[in-house]
Amino acid sequence: MFKAIILSFGLIFLMNCKAQKETKTSTKMNIDQTGSTKATNKDGEIIYFNEGENKFLKEYQMNVTFKGISEDSRCPKDVTCIWEGVAVAQIEIMGTTTRPMTLNLASLDNKVKNYNKSTEFNGYTISLVDVQPYPEASEGTKALNGKYKIGITIKKSGEESTKK
């Protein structure tokens, strides 16, 4: 009887250890256009930053800081515009063996105006895929200062995107 009790406690202890290991896996929280949150593992593509936020991305061995939005000329909601406009995010990136570099990533590609959604850094392609919140006609973009959130993707250079 005593051996059965000890064996039961041992099995419970081992199952508890396995459950703790499973909850320690790396997750990122992703927020979609509707504002709902979903978690993905480290293989998830979009990494979100609040304005001024700094993260060390261990899987890429780089430190990324979202400095702010230097330009936001996107057409406000409920307004008809001739041009959709652009948002330009300033992102400071530093690899473990490189100096910091400030990248200006735009919400759209326009080579004539020197807007680029993606750039190369240290063997990776870094792309801007989301800029939130979207400006409203009543408030304009000045009201958004300090409230911006961006989503970027980081892929090995030369990898094709699976999303369209």
**Locus of tokens 């369209």:** 164
- From residue 57, how far is each of 3, 11, 64, 103 by CA, in Å? 48, 37, 7, 17
| Calpha distance 60→122 (Å, rounded) | 10
Question: C-alpha angle 135/104/140, rounded to 5°?
Answer: 15
- Sheet containing 149-156: give its strands across: 47-50, 149-156, 124-132, 118-121
Predicted pLDDT at 79:
82
Domains and CATH numbers, the chain: 45-156 (2.60.98)
For 48-96, the pLDDT digits (tens) are 999 999 999 999 999 999 999 999 888 888 788 888 889 999 999 999 8
What is the chain's alpha carbon radius of gyration, rounded to the nearest angstrom?
A: 22
Select from 78, 80, 52, 57 the least CA-distant residue to 67.
52
- From residue 11, how far is each of 4, 15, 20, 23 by CA, in Å? 11, 6, 14, 19
For 139-164, the pLDDT digits (tens) are 766 667 778 899 999 998 876 554 44
Select from 37, 121, 137, 126 the least CA-distant residue to 80.
137
pLDDT-based confidence at 137, cuts 50/70/90?
Answer: confident
